[in-house]
Amino acid sequence: MSIRKACQSDFKDIVLCVNSSYFHYIERIGKKPAPMLTNYEQCINEQIIYVVVDDNSDVVGVLVLVESKRKFFIENIAIHQKAQGNGYGKSLLKFAESEASTRGFKYIELYTHEKMIENISLYQHFGYCISKRVVENGFSRVYMKKCILNG
């Protein structure tokens, strides 16, 4: 397993990975989840997207990180359905937290849909706390935050 910045040749695999990860939520929330609507070519061009590849060099996970002056944000983390349960998500979370720490941030933030209760529970297991609930762009979101130690 390795984590690296995505390149243009990863585009189709990224879309397949994200769609596989989120497809089963469509019925639950009544529409495609926001990550299925993201312009991943733009993410690649902006160099804010990473992929995790397995030992066969297949893209099995996607991580989109957004940095601003005030916060470090996980915009999306997705693991292909066939690869879930193998620790790839945990590795991507740790990678994101390490990046945030290296860049001098004290907190890392993310959001998930309020009906993705498994995700909320998973993030809480990894130390994230709910910071707010809002409706944005037609999605009911739960924002979560984790304090990280620098250095």
Contact 6, 63 (CB under 8 A): no
HSE toward the beta carbon, residue 77, CA cutoff 13 A: 24
Could you give the CA distance from residue 74 to residue 91 in angstroms, rounded to a whole number?
14
Q: Kindly report, residue by residue over 68-92, the tens digit of the pLDDT.
A: 888 999 999 999 999 999 999 999 9
- Residue spans of alpha helices (H) in 82-138: 88-102, 117-125
**What residue ranges define each of the domains in the chain, with the CATH number in brackets?**
2-147 (3.40.630.30)
Model-level pTM greater than 0.85?
A: yes
What would the mean pLDDT of 59-64 be, rounded to a whole number? Answer: 98
